[in-house]
């Protein structure tokens, strides 16, 4: 089968991956602006009260948009697997499997809607004992939110991205610049965002090459679909 015919067979997936990459590239600065203008509360009580006043802003402060971003990575990684599997089928299979496991683990870590439910119970609580119990549950939810599952997701996502970066650098499907952008984002993602100030700084720095990488792969995947 000729290379052009091979890519034509997957045009639907390529287009879906390209659209997902563009949507994600648009969402990321929106999410950053929301955090800048409406910083998330620093306490459990603050989260519960914010969710009572404005449930949408409360969910956004608990990474509602990141839930969407994570779902968008699914068609992106599948499209990249198809586009790059001729370069290294085993490496791309490992990267895709690791990425998919990471996505599943992330959804187990996010407790945004659990916190929304707790906020409603907190507002309806009639006694101090009930308030105290619900605050304890809120502390547990936020601990889970940034706990083991999230860190596992972060590390798995980084491993998948680094593998894809090295495969891209060996291929002629994507430009070398695209591969180096993925590599740069992967290096900055080596430290989870939950590891203090350095983790937060590295996660913010990773967004710069990641954003440009999304645009590059969106353009290339769309070209492959034509």
Task: Report pLDDT digits (tens) over 202-216.
Answer: 888 999 999 999 999
Query: What dihedral do alpha carbons 74, 80, 81, 84 form, nearest 10°?
Result: -170
Q: What is the mean pLDDT of residues 127-148?
A: 88
Q: Which residues contact 8 (CB under 8 A, 6 or more apart)?
A: none
Residue 1 has pLDDT above 50, yes or no: no
Contacts of 72 (CB under 8 A, 6+ apart): 20, 21, 23, 24, 27
Name the packing angle between helices 148-170 and 64-84 (round to 10°): 30
Cα 102 from Cα 144, distance rounded (Å): 16
pLDDT at 73 over 50: yes
pLDDT of residue 8: 65
pTM listed for this prediction: 0.88
* Among 208, 80, 103, 89, residue whose Cα is nearest residue 156: 103
Work out the average pLDDT over 96-101.
95
Mean pLDDT value across the chain: 90
Q: Which tens digits make up the pLDDT trace of 143-170?
A: 888 888 889 999 999 999 999 999 999 9
Contacts of 146 (CB under 8 A, 6+ apart): 109, 194
């Amino acid at each position: 089968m000729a290379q052009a015919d091979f890519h034509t067979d997957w045009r639907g997936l390529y287009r879906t991956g390209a659209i997902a990459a563009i949507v994600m590239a648009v969402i990321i600065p929106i999410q950053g602006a929301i955090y800048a203008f409406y910083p998330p509360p620093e306490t459990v009580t603050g989260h519960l009260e914010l969710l009572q006043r404005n449930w949408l802003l409360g969910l956004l402060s608990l990474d509602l948009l990141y839930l969407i971003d994570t779902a968008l990575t699914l068609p992106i990684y599948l499209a990249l697997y198809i586009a790059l599997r001729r370069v290294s089928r085993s490496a791309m299979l490992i990267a895709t499997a690791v990425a998919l496991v990471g996505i599943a683990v992330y959804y187990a870590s996010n407790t945004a809607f659990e916190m929304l439910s707790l906020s409603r119970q907190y507002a309806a609580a009639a006694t101090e004992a009930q308030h105290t119990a619900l605050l304890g549950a809120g502390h547990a939810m936020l601990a889970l939110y940034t706990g083991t599952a999230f860190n596992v997701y972060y590390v798995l996502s980084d491993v998948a991205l680094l593998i894809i970066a090295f495969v891209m650098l060996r291929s002629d499907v994507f430009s070398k610049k695209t591969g180096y952008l993925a590599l740069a984002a992967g290096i900055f993602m080596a430290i989870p965002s939950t590891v203090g100030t350095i983790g937060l700084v590295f996660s913010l720095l990773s967004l710069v090459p990641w954003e440009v990488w999304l645009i590059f792969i969106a353009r290339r995947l769309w070209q492959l679909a034509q």
